[in-house]
């Protein structure tokens, strides 16, 4: 049996007529760049999140970059974030000229540990960028309380958390601005690159809308130097066709996650756990092996047996070669470093069958020798 980490083909097959019609519509009216499809999707996605504005951009990385710029964060500023994330989180902070200040994670949720944030605040700190890792919102009440006390902006990296909730609010409305990725394998993904900045702040929305399109709001007048970071029409149309299915797909992921938890109960692994305030969307189903197991050997065994498996993430940002200039040593963020050695992600998607899950867990059992 071969089981991919994510099965985009199965999802396409389940809604093929809707996707095909959406793409054809864009070709028929040649609204390839920006245009009606983008505006419609922006409105629908903002409403879905429960926010006032969503501005479509070229990728999740572009969303992070433009949101930071829109909040006037740049050279001389510090932004607090987690080292246990996809590289783009830190990269965007660095690309605007600011400095990422890493704060270690909570060992259970893998999200930034709010108890460690205040010690990292300096006179240069401007913002906190929590990442809702694997689709579970970070501990936002605690983070927002710290931000409020110190006058900091909160920008969510919600690239893995479309539709997740913290209390009754969706990711996208849990800080000042939020950044989403529509990379194909994300919970809401297009068929190329795409992203969005979601906010209730009209000034931030307008600034992102301007910056993504060469600093202009009209065709020939450019108010400031901007970027080419637009969302294209075909991607927006695909996203618009998929959005009505997102809650079902996320519910399917939660159902599969609950079944994994049962199947894994007697194995020497920790299944994901979530804060009672959160409703996660399992972008990844990431387990941690008990101490003493060779994670990389287990990953290899699963791969050899046709199981798509991922490691999110094997190298924390402070130990990436690109961040050598920050001069952070191994041991600087011990909780993240330990997780980086022990975690692995199993296939998860709404279409995953019982039989496939049984096979995955059987292969894992074999790899662990239990
Ligand atoms: C995917 C992802 C990004 C980047 O999104 P792209 O669309 O690939 O640029 C940023 N942050 C996190 C946490 C991600 O998972």
What pLDDT is recorded for position 49?
98
pLDDT surpasses 90 at 174: yes
Nearest alpha carbon to residue 96 among 117, 74, 67: 74
Peptide bond into 2 cis (omega under 30): no
SS3 assignment, position 213: strand
For ligand 1, pick from 58, 59, 66, 86 the residue to mutate: most ligand atoms within 8 Å of CB: 86
What pLDDT is recorded for position 195?
98
- Show the tokens assigned to 157: 């990296």
Backbone φ, ψ for residue 197 (5° rounding) = -105, 130
Beta bridge partners of 79: 100, 127
Q: 360 CA to middle of ligand 1, Å? A: 26
Evaluate whether 233 touches 37 at the Cβ level (below 8 Å): yes
pLDDT surpasses 90 at 114: yes
Per-residue pLDDT of 326-350, as tens digits, reads: 999 999 999 999 999 999 999 999 9
What pLDDT is recorded for position 118?
98
Mean pLDDT for all residues in the chain: 97
Angle between helices 354-368 and 246-263 (to 10 degrees): 40
pLDDT surpasses 90 at 155: yes
Per-residue pLDDT of 22-72, as tens digits, reads: 999 999 999 999 889 999 999 999 999 999 999 999 999 999 999 999 999
Q: 213 CA to middle of ligand 1, Å? A: 21
Nearest alpha carbon to residue 111 among 130, 88, 90, 91: 130
Give the integer Cα–Cα distance in Å for 272 and 285.
7
pLDDT surpasses 90 at 217: no
- Show the tokens assigned to 84: 């246990």
What pLDDT is recorded for position 355?
98
Give the integer Cα–Cα distance in Å for 312 and 84.
8
Provide the 8-state DSSP code for 264. T
Evaluate whether 70 touches 204 at the Cβ level (below 8 Å): yes
Domains observed in the chain: 8-104+111-244 (3.40.640.10), 246-368 (3.90.1150.10)
* Banded model confidence at residue 312, pLDDT cuts 50, 70, 90: very high
Question: Model pTM?
Answer: 0.98
- Show the tokens assigned to 216: 């202009």
Ligand 1 pocket, Cβ-based, cut-off 6 angstroms: 59-61, 85-86, 88-89, 131, 157, 159-160, 181, 183, 193, 195
Structure-token match 């809308």, residue found: 209
């Amino acid at each position: 049996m071969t089981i991919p980490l994510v099965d985009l083909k199965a999802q396409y097959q389940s809604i093929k007529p809707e996707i095909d019609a959406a793409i054809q519509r864009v070709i028929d009216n040649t609204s390839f760049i920006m245009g009606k499809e983008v505006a419609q999707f922006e409105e629908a996605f903002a409403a879905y999140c429960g926010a006032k504005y969503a501005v479509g951009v070229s990728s999740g990385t572009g969303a992070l970059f433009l949101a930071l710029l829109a909040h006037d964060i740049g050279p001389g500023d510090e932004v607090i974030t987690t080292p246990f994330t996809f590289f783009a989180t830190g990269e965007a902070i660095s690309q605007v000229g600011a400095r990422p200040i890493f704060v270690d994670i909570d060992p259970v949720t893998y999200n930034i540990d709010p108890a460690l944030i205040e010690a990292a605040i300096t006179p240069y700190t401007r913002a906190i960028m929590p990442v809702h890792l694997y689709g579970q919102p970070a501990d936002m009440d605690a983070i927002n309380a710290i931000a409020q006390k110190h006058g900091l902006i909160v920008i969510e990296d919600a690239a893995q958390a479309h539709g997740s909730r913290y209390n009754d609010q969706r990711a996208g409305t849990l800080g000042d601005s939020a950044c989403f990725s529509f990379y194909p394998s994300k919970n809401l993904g297009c068929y190329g690159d795409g992203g969005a900045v979601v906010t209730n702040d009209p000034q931030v929305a307008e600034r992102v809308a301007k910056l993504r399109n060469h600093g202009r709001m009209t065709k020939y007048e450019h108010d400031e130097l901007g970027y080419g970071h637009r969302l294209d029409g075909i991607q927006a149309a695909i996203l618009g066709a998929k959005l009505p299915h997102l809650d079902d797909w996320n519910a399917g992921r939660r159902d599969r996650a609950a079944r994994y938890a049962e199947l894994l109960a007697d194995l020497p692994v920790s299944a994901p756990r979530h804060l009672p305030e959160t409703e996660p969307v399992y972008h990844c189903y990431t387990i941690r092996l008990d101490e003493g197991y060779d994670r990389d050997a287990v990953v290899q065994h699963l791969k050899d047996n046709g199981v798509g498996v991922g490691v999110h993430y094997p190298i924390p940002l402070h130990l990436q070669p690109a961040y050598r200039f920050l001069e952070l040593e191994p041991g600087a963020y011990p909780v993240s470093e330990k997780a980086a050695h022990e975690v692995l992600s199993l296939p998860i998607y709404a279409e995953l069958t019982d039989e496939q899950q049984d096979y995955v867990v059987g292969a894992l059992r074999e790899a662990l020798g239990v």
